[in-house]
């Protein structure tokens, strides 16, 4: 059911975003405690503001109300927002935009005994990502397989 909800939302929201020149970053349909959240993350060049997310939320909500049969009876909350500074990296376009930037990767299986790396994205291709990381005080260039990446996102370096 979750995949069906996400696919339907993507079809509903895409035309709204195209008319406004916004980009769909991600859709989440998750249960937290006993409530279901449908989260739509959007972005545009220069950043998205609260009025723009509210407008998309209103239009999307109206479209959702017209769907029959109602797939959204379990949705307790619809949230439309910016992905923030730690935006997820989902596809090649995201990785291209992240080249040279500091990113966070978590893995399904440990790489060199580590399940999380943060570093500057140096390169990527269809199978791998290459990062410059700092391990203790040593700089190291690592290459990881994309199929082993559980989550990738921009990160803030402290």
Instruction: Quickly list DSSP for 71-139.
Output: TTTTEEEEEEE---TT-B--SHHHHHHHTTSEEEEEEEEEETTEEEEEEEEEEE-SSEEEEEEEETTEE
- Domain with 73, as residue range(s), is 2-81
Radius of gyration of the chain (CA): 18
Domain match, 96 and 77 both: no
Secondary structure (3-state) at 12: helix
Residue 113 lies in a domain: yes
65 and 100 co-located in one domain: no
Structural domain contains residue 148: yes
Q: Note whether 96 and 74 are same-domain residues.
A: no
We report the CATH number of the domain holding residue 108 as 2.30.30.180
Whole-prediction pTM: 0.77
Residue 31 and residue 77 in one domain: yes
Kindly report, residue by residue over 68-82, the tens digit of the pLDDT: 777 787 888 999 999
Q: What is the mean pLDDT of residues 141-147?
A: 94
């Amino acid at each position: 059911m979750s995949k069906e909800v996400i696919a339907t939302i993507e079809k509903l929201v895409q035309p709204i975003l195209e008319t406004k020149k916004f980009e769909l970053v991600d859709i989440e349909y998750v249960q937290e405690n006993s409530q279901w959240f449908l989260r739509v993350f959007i972005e545009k060049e220069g950043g998205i503001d609260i009025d723009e997310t509210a407008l998309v939320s209103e239009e999307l909500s109206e479209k959702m109300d017209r769907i029959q049969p109602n797939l959204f009876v379990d949705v307790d909350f619809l949230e439309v927002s910016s992905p923030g500074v730690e935006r997820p990296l989902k596809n090649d376009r995201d990785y291209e935009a992240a080249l040279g930037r500091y990113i966070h990767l978590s893995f399904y299986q440990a790489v060199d005994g580590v399940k999380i790396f943060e570093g500057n994205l140096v390169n990527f291709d269809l199978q791998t990502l290459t990062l410059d990381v700092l391990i203790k005080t040593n700089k190291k260039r690592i290459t990881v397989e994309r199929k082993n990446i559980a989550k990738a996102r921009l990160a803030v370096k402290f």
